[in-house]
Amino acid sequence: MKQVMNLIGLKREALLLDSGLYILKAMAAISIGFILGQAFSITRLDMISVLLGVMYNLEPINVSGVRGGLNQLLASTLGALCTGMLVYLMGYNVTFLTVALGIGLTLYIALKIDYRMVSPVAIFTSIYMTQLLQKDGFGNPSVFLTFRLRIAALGLGVLVALLFNFLFSVFYYRSIGKKRLEFVKVQGLGGLKITRDILSGTGVKDDYQPIMAGIFSDIEMVKANIEMMMKEKFVPFNKKEKENLSILYTIVKQIKTINHLAYDCIYIAESYGTKFSEEQKQVFDRMIEILQKIDFTHKNTYAEEIIQIKTEVDQQANPPRLDENIKLIVHQFNELLIVSQEIN
């Protein structure tokens, strides 16, 4: 039975990212989007844009998504205007050249605005304006009617997504940040285990780089999530909850620092053939043991462990680079444990 549940159930990491809640949110939002889209004479002509507008703007994290929704509408408007003007100037003669120029112009403008990212909504709208041209009452193709339909349908989808982002944020914003932190803890724990195994001679060095890169990526993702929540203006965080987010953010940065230092320990081992001494391995074992006990979704206290680890490391004299890294790791770890006591 347990094997069956493991097969069909989501991983703990996915649950900590509220994937189940996101699925529920998506199902509810897409249902309302479909009902509302069918209710209006214009939007029922383009249910694809309505439903895509909902899904493009549903946030898996604890923010209202207002800024993202406005950016999607802006990107779509730019794509529609660029390609629509091109189609009109070419006398509605849509050929491979029209499509190519429309995409090229849309990409140019999008990159001009932000060279780091091209919105898929803008690309889709550019293609939409050449392939789904609406016709007026006389049967003639109309850029204006096509533009109106696309923006109206997408706009309705965005509004539905913003509504559900806000509703779910109001109900669940108190717990999402702690779950994100617990997710980061799991990733940080993995980094410490890899470092311990490699420097103890039991791990495979060739596999660590992509694994550590994935850990850094996950930590950075959550760090960005919490930054967004801290800046959120439409979700009713009170002063105490904003302070709590600040504490969570500090701990995420500490875990990130710990893993950077752990990565450097692996680099030292790889470059100079250095290994952990038995005392250093015991320090890592103890940190891993303590971190495994911590569940950031619940209140914990670990004052005794902080003193014990600090004493062990302070006994090491004249440390080389590896020892210095371990001292810095333990310092950050102890600070993490202290700061965690402030989580409400």
pLDDT tens digits for range 1-57 = 556 555 666 676 766 666 777 888 889 999 999 999 999 988 998 999 899 889 888
Give the C-alpha separation, 251 to 36, whole Å.
Answer: 43
Provide φ and ψ at 135, rounded to 5°. Answer: -115, 145
**Comparison of pLDDT for 32 and 207, the residue scoring more:** 32
In whole angstroms, what is the distance from residue 36 CA to residue 44 CA? Answer: 9
pLDDT higher for 273 or 214? 214
**Residue (of 224, 196, 194) closest to 211 by Cα position:** 194
pLDDT bin (cut points 50, 70, 90) of residue 310 is low
In three-state form (DSSP H/G/I as H, E/B as E, the rest C), the secondary structure along the chain is: CHHHHHHHCCCHHHHHCCHHHHHHHHHHHHHHHHHHHHHCCCHHHHHHHHHHHHHHHCCCCCCCCHHHHHHHHHHHHHHHHHHHHHHHHCCCCCCHHHHHHHHHHHHHHHHHHCCCCCCHHHHHHHHHHHHCCEECCCCCEEHHHHHHHHHHHHHHHHHHHHHHHHHHHHHHHHHHHHHHHHHHHHHHHHHHHHHHHHHCCCCCHHHHHHHHHHHHHHHHHHHHHHHHHHHCCCCCCCHHHHHHHHHHHHHHHHHHHHHHHHHHHHHHHHHHCCCCCHHHHHHHHHHHHHHHHCCCCCCCCCHHHHHHHHHHHHCCCCCCHHHHHHHHHHHHHHHHHHHHCCCC
Identify which has the larger pLDDT, 257 or 314: 257
- Cβ atoms of residues 248 and 226 within 8 Å: yes
Q: Which pLDDT score, from 0 to 100, does residue 321 have?
A: 80
- Across the range 171-190, mean pLDDT stands at 82
Mean pLDDT for the stretch of residues 273-300: 84
Average pLDDT over the chain, rounded to whole? 81
Per-residue pLDDT tens over the stretch 133-153: 888 888 888 888 988 998 899
Percent of the chain exceeding pLDDT 90 equals 18
Provide the residue type at 143 as one letter. Answer: V
Nearest to 222 by CA among 333, 106, 61, 110: 61
Q: Is pLDDT at 222 greater than 60 in this prediction?
A: yes
Burial class (CB in 10 A: 0-12, 13-18, 19+), 129: buried
pLDDT above 50 (res 317): no
Partner residues linked to 312 by β-bridges: none
CATH class label, 175-340: mainly alpha
Q: What is the mean pLDDT of residues 203-228?
A: 83
Positive or negative, the Cα torsion across 83, 86, 92, 98? negative
Q: In the predicted model, what is the mean pLDDT of residues 277-301? A: 83
pTM equals: 0.73
Confidence (pLDDT) at 209 = 85
CATH 1.20.58 range(s) for the chain read 175-340
Choice among 201-205, 296-300, 306-310 with the minimum mean pLDDT: 306-310
Q: Give the confidence band of 116 by pLDDT, cuts at 50, 70, 90.
A: low
Q: Give me the percent of the chain exceeding a pLDDT of 70.
A: 79
**Region 111-132 average pLDDT:** 78
Characterize 241-272 residue by residue with b for buried, 16 or more Cβ atoms within 10 angstroms of its Cβ, and e for exposed.
Answer: beebbebbbbbbbbbbbbbbbbbbbbebbeee
Task: Tell me the sheet residues that pair with 141.
Answer: 135
Structure tokens at 44: 């029922």
Q: pLDDT: is 341 or 257 the higher one? A: 257
Predicted local distance difference test score (pLDDT) of residue 10: 66
Helices 321-340 + 278-293 axis angle, to 10: 20
Confidence band, pLDDT 50/70/90 cuts, at residue 220:
very high
Q: Are 284 and 251 in contact (CB under 8 A)?
A: no
Residue 269 makes CB contacts below 8 A (sequence gap 6+) with: 198, 199, 205, 275, 322
**pLDDT value, residue 3:** 61
